[in-house]
Structure 1
Amino acid sequence: MELSTIKDAFDRVAKKQRLSSSKAQEVIDQVGREIEQALTKMHSVHDSTSSSDQKSILMELNSKLNEMGPLKQLEGSQKELNVALSKYAKLLEKSFNPDISKAYRNVDFDTHTVNQIIAGHFYRRGLFDLGDCFINESGESEATYLKSPFLEMYQILEAMKCRNLEPALNWATTNCEKLMQNRSSLELKLHRLQFVEILQKGTRADALTYARTYLAPFASRHMAEIQKLMGCLLWAGRLDCSPYAEFLSPTHWEKLAEELTQQFCCLLGQSFESPLSVVIAAGVQGLPTLLKLANVMASKKQEWQAMKQLPVPVDLGSEFQFHSIFVCPVSRDQGSEENPPMLMPCGHVLCKQSIVKLSKSSTRTFKCPYCPLEATVAVCRQLYF
């Protein structure tokens, strides 16, 4: 069932809830007005009225409330809401299988590697106390090497939040050669932010001195950028009303913090995203297909645990594709080291095993299944993605 169907059902429940709430408030307001009117009458004739007159006012109020029937009005709207909620709950139960253990397979994981991944995830997220606690309880003392570099990274990021670029600049200067190898202009961007900060809070002379010292070395490769920054000197102290006001946007700090995190992880040989987060996100996307497959196999009395290859594709989206995959158009098998993709003279590509089956011998010619041209195994070349 598509998520749009569930969303439509949710929207209907939400609409019923709003109507029920509106109706309840309307009834409460009506009761409140009747009570206020009765109190006004009692106060206006308090000195001259007798107890019997007060009783008649209360009886009149009681009669109006009975005629109004607030409980019946509330019960009606609430009943409609309860019916909608009941249907929605059944729809969710039908659409989502709460028992995800059906998609579980017995896999022998390397506990040491898994523990390191979990510890690395905590340190990568800045949860250092939690990471230390996990390492102590799991006995993975070797994983502590991950803490120090990420601790340095978060100290730099925390300083950037306070508009202190000195730790970031020191790190970028120390690793300038590696950043250049990655074709990153992170160091220049940090100096640009620092230059703009000086221009706003300091003097034009201070900003010019900083530019001559730290920006001049980048002039040969980033002249257009340096020229813009030099134009900012004319608007010292009032950059916010200049043609260069865009340099003051807070998004520059946010984007630069993200880029610094990416480059920091890259120089550590680590991915920008936590491997544990990626695995969980990919698992969440693939779980519905796996659950459906497990249910179908159970109904056909086939063993889910004994399968070596999934009979159906699991589409995880482009964000989870980290390397090229080739699937033979003839056999539908995925390319591997034992069965690599082979390029034929006509330009079409098949897996090696498919070509061998088509040729039936290493010297015999065979016709390409997608065009009239013929080829032999000897003239086919392995492709490397």
Structure 2
Amino acid sequence: MELNTIKDAFDRVAKKQKLSCSKTQEVIDEVGREIEEAMAKLQSTDNGLGCDLKSILLELKTKLNEMAPMNQLEGSQRELNIGLVKYAKILEKCLNPDISKAYRNVDSDIHIVNQIIASHFYRQGLFDLGDCFVSEANEPDATALKSPFLEMYGILEAMRSRNLEPALNWASKQSERLLENGSSLELKLHQLQFVEMLQKGSQNEALKYARTYLAPFASVHKVEIQKLMACLLWAGRLNQSPYAEFMSPTHWERLAEELTQQFCSLLGQSYESPLSVAIAAGIQGLPTLLKLASVMAAKQQEWQAMKQLPVPVDLGREFQFHSIFVCPVLREQGSDENPPMLMPCGHVLSKQSIVKLSKSSTRPFKCPYCPLEATVGQCRQLHF
């Protein structure tokens, strides 16, 4: 992948730069020692005769000439310069500034695109920017995307001020939906509120709070509730107790992140902005697309009308949201018409590959990846 090529070239230049820096420092230190020795001799000369001074300086000059510091630095500096020149050429080759070559004419609804952009601004908390974009894009309907995120950021702002009331009110209203998501967010918020009361030394108030809000969770979260009840013995000095971990600021950070995740989930939206994910994935796939466009142009072929790209676009695992199958033989992505087929040996090929290899529904054929043979009837369709 071209990004790996750039990284390897950068690593080589960085290594040469470190070697050059180390060599330069070594030469400077050596020259410095010789000068210091000469200075010491000059200071220890008692008679102050000019001939002694001249001999000391002449000896220093001779030693510096023998060391030839410039010659020592020339070799490492030359290698560094060569590496930098090569790196610049690789950057120029790989980072083609004309990214429009990778653009493909795709029909898209401008209103949906505008809503995606507006939603991105709102979910990032950039409400003024979102309002400005909605106004200039003339998308009044997109304003409805703002209010849920206003509520979310209001809750998060309150949590930064150690105020859990808005978060607790929201979690109480969404209690059933949170449980359906398998989230214990409401309990964690009550735990944090309970600990805050104990830190202030309000033992009776904390006990009353626990009976009201923590008791309903005791049957499922028995161990956590038991630890919290033990904290009652350390009211006002919880930081000196075996349960001081409950006071860690990381609990607030993690809970704020989990609340954001659950809030977006209940809105039917992903935790990360779809626009951010699309741009990040596009950046990773851009070098491959640019190279493809360049190769196809050289062959005077058009790739704009292709339903499927002739080469795979290698993205990281963070961009894999569902299972896909690409036939290792034909290099084509599986589809309803050409599904993946499991062979008796355990290897998987596309239906078209198996048909081409068998040449007959009854005639056995050899797997292209192992010595075993199979017939078409022995292959079973896989469902992802």
Bin for the TM-score computed over the shorter chain: 0.7 to 0.9
The residue that corresponds to 2:270 in the other structure is 271
Name 1:254's counterpart in structure 2. 253
Q: 1:310 to 1:15 in 2, by over 3 A?
A: closer
Asked if structure 1 preserves the Cα contact closer than 8 Å seen for 2:239 and 2:247, the reply is yes
CA shift in 2, pair 1:90/1:353, >3 Å? closer
Structure 1 residues 118-197: aligned runs within 5 Å: 118-197=117-196
User: 260-269 or 3-12, which moves further after superposition?
Assistant: 3-12
Query: TM-score, normalised on structure 2?
Result: 0.76
Hey, what's the Cα distance between the residues in 1 that align with 2:128 and 2:40?
64
Q: State the 1:171 CA deviation.
A: 1.9
Structure 1 position 12 matched with structure 2 position 9: no
Deviations 1:86-144 (A, max 9, x none): 33334455555554332211223322222221222122122333333433443334333
Gaps of 5+ in 2: 342-347, 354-360, 363-373
Write the deviation string for residues 124-182 of structure 1: whole angstroms up to 9, x where unpaired. 12233333343344333433333332233223223323433222112222333432343
How far off its partner does 1:241 sit? Answer: 5.2
TM-superposed deviation, 1:302? 1.2
Match of 2:81 in 1: 82
**1:345-368 CA distance string (max 9 Å, x none):** xxxx999999xxxxxxxxxxx879
1:181 and 1:230 mapped to 2: Cα distance?
27
Give the Cα–Cα distance (whole angstroms) in 2 for the partners of residues 113 and 203 of structure 1: 52
Corresponding residue number in structure 2 for 1:28:
28
State the identity %.
72
Question: Which range moved further: 307-316 or 192-201?
Answer: 307-316
Q: Distance in 1 between matches of 2:284 and 2:219?
A: 47
TM-score normalised according to structure 1 size: 0.75
Equivalence for 2:376 = 370
> Which of 322-331 and 115-124 deviates more?
322-331
Separation (CA, whole Å) in 2 of partners of 1:257 and 1:91: 43
| Conservation of the 8 A alpha-carbon contact between 1:328 and 1:335 | no
What CA distance in whole angstroms lies between the structure 2 residues aligned with 1:256 and 1:111? 37
SS in 2 for 1:139: coil
8 Å Cα contact 1:265/1:272 also seen in 2: yes
Shift of the 335–217 alpha-carbon distance from structure 1 to 2, 3 Å rule, reads same
Q: Which letter does structure 1 place at the counterpart of 2:211?
A: R
Give the length in aligned residue pairs. 364
Amino acid at match of 2:269: Q
Partner-residue secondary structure (3-state), 1:32: helix
Instruction: Choose 232-241 or 266-275, whichever is displaced more.
Output: 232-241
- Partner AA of 2:12 in structure 1: R
Q: Whole-Å Cα distance in 2 between the matches of residues 84 and 351 of structure 1? A: 46
Return closer, same or farther for 1:276/1:297 CA change in 2, 3 Å cut-off: same
Q: CA deviation at 1:192?
A: 0.7
2 CA distance for matches of 1:5 and 1:114? 34
Alpha-carbon contact 1:20-1:81 (below 8 Å) kept: yes
CA shift for structure 1 position 190: 0.4
Which residue of structure 2 aligns with residue 72 of structure 1?
71
Distance change in 2, residues 1:80/1:168 (3 Å): same
Matched-pair contact (CA < 8 Å) for 1:335–1:351: no
Assess, with a 3 A threshold, how the Cα gap between structure 1 residues 70 and 129 changes in structure 2: closer, same or farther. Answer: farther
SS at the partner of 2:260?
helix
Deviations 1:196-237, CA, capped at 9 Å, x for gaps = 222233232222122112212333443343233223223434
Whether the 8 Å contact between 1:327 and 1:335 is mirrored in structure 2 is no
User: Where in structure 1 are there 5+ consecutive unaligned residues?
Assistant: 344-348, 355-365, 375-379
AA aligned to 2:11 is D
Give distance in 2, aligned partners of 1:58 and 1:373.
90
Give the structure 2 partner of residue 363 of structure 1: none
Deviation of the 1:3 alpha carbon: 6.2
Where does residue 359 of structure 1 map in the other structure? Answer: none
Q: Secondary structure at the match of 1:188?
A: helix
